[in-house]
Amino acid sequence: MPIATVNPANGETLKTYQAMDEEEIERRLQLAEATFRTYRTTAFADRARLLNRAADLLDEDSAEIARVMTTEMGKPVKQARAEAAKCAKAMRWYAENAPGLLADERPAESDVRDSGASRALVRYRPLGPVLAVMPWNFPLWQVVRFAAPALMAGNVGLLKHASNVPQTALYLEDLFHRAGFTEGCFQTLLIGSAAVDEILRDERIKAATLTGSEPAGRAVASTAGEMVKKTVLELGGSDPFVVMPSADVDRAAEVAVTARVQNNGQSCIAAKRFIVHTDVYDRFAERFTEGMRALKVGDPLEEETEVGPLASEQGRADLEELVDDARRSGATVLCGGERPDRPGWYYPPTVLADIDRGMRVHREEAFGPVATLYRAADLDEAVLIANDSPFGLSSNVWTRQEAEVDRFVRDLEAGGVFVNGMTASHPALPFGGVKRSGYGRELSGHGIREFCNITTVWHGA
């Protein structure tokens, strides 16, 4: 895949870039290693000052970088500005909270004595250069939620971003440099996917984090396992959105529309499978379909646009295949389902009903504005349908019954359970999944400690 900005709203190639050669990659690896030796000894206060400055600059650049993101991958520009603001918020959160999250931990005095020590503690130390392989769908947020905690922990980062968002990738490197971080603290590698394996095998790279497809995750995990290096993987998701009879059905249907089409439906944590109790199924289906049908599809640079184009022509083709397979297998198309006759890689908000387990859309992630509707006879069947997926990233549950909430929290196979609301990420809350959605956690204290050497310090009596 070429490294290029191709506007998904019209298919026009705007900028192309040459991949870095081996000499430049080597220079950057050397720089990362050398920078880490000194950056790792800096004080939290100094790191926080730099990260807060990066947040301030990002706020100043918000309108400009939002247009760049929209032009590169098609998200509505209002959502792009919100993404930039969220990144600045996360930077400030880690700048403020990292010292407490990584403070020395001291066991109970009785346990210290029992171990034969006069004193003992646990200290969090940085690992070194971390390779981040990141996707295009949230081209700022995916990177910042790695970079902010990694930099505050004393690590340095090398970013291999998706090849269709090179301008955003270069902006991030420039942002951290303008904020005052030494050049080697955060570097962008303009390389293709084929170059990742060799870089990950380099002894100077100490760990890796990847957000992306399941095949990409397998490849990185395989190499990292062979090299005995720590990895965090956030892969696909096919999140359930369960609606029970006690729920505010109209509100659930309204939120369901946003939960499905956020970021043009190209979000791992977007709700994709809508599992509705039979007592309220018809009402929910009607309201939800009305909402999906009413969405404004158009130029993502226009303020009133709610759904823009998919990020790539191949992405739209993949989505069409899932819908066509479901239709051939007996699914009912309640709205959408046909490619519009216009330039760009648009696909309409689509609702599919009468889904069965043999359809590809039941097993595979629909990465675009396509929702599937399921009817559940009771709570037990709702849980069975929700868990009948290879993925387990997050989940949404709508009910006013606390006993039902307890059951869902206990039984749903997911990294998150959001009750009476849609899944969202926040710097204070851990983010990640189970099953084929990956392993490890980003954000919160759990995320910042993923790339730390958790060190036991023991002093004899």
**Residue of 87, 268, 335, 452 with catalytic role:** 268
The pair of structure tokens assigned to 248 is 């505010």
Distance CA 109, CA 119 (A): 8
Sequence-ordered list of residues with C-beta below 8 angstroms from that of 346, at least 6 positions apart, any chain: 297, 308, 309, 310, 316, 339, 340
The pair of structure tokens assigned to 417 is 């359970």
Amino acid (1-letter code) at residue 265: G
The pair of structure tokens assigned to 147 is 């970079």
Cβ neighbours around 362 below 10 Å, total: 22
Let me know: does 344 contact 215? Beta carbons within 8 Å.
Answer: no
Task: Compute and round to an integer the Cα radius of gyration of the chain.
Answer: 23
Beta strands 391-392; 434-435: pairing state: antiparallel
Q: Is 234 a catalytic residue?
A: yes
Distance of CA 188 to the CA centre of its chain: 19
Beta strands 186-188; 332-335: pairing state: unpaired
Instruction: For Cα atoms 347, 348, 351, give the angle at the middle one, nearest 5 degrees.
Output: 120
Beta strands 230-234; 438-439: pairing state: antiparallel
Distance CA 251, CA 257 (A): 10
Q: Is 268 a catalytic residue?
A: yes
Distance CA 419, CA 409 (A): 9
* Whole-number Cα distances in Å, 59 to 84, 142, 158, 361: 7, 17, 23, 39
Q: Name the nearest CA neighbour of 460 among 112, 122, 111.
A: 112
**Residue of 83, 173, 234, 365 with catalytic role:** 234
The SS3 assignment for 293 reads helix
Specify the residue for token string 């509707």: 373
Distance CA 219, CA 69 (A): 27
Classify burial at 413, counting beta carbons within 10 Å of its beta carbon; exposed 0-12, middle 13-18, buried 19 or more. middle
Distance CA 178, CA 201 (A): 30
> In sequence order, what DSSP letters do the residues of 70-116 get, joined into one string?
HHHH---HHHHHHHHHHHHHHHHHHHHHHHHHT--B---HHHHHHTT
Q: Compute the 3-state secondary structure of the chain and give helix, strand, coil in percent, each to the nearest 5.
A: 45, 20, 35
Among all residues, which ones are annotated catalytic?
Answer: 234, 268
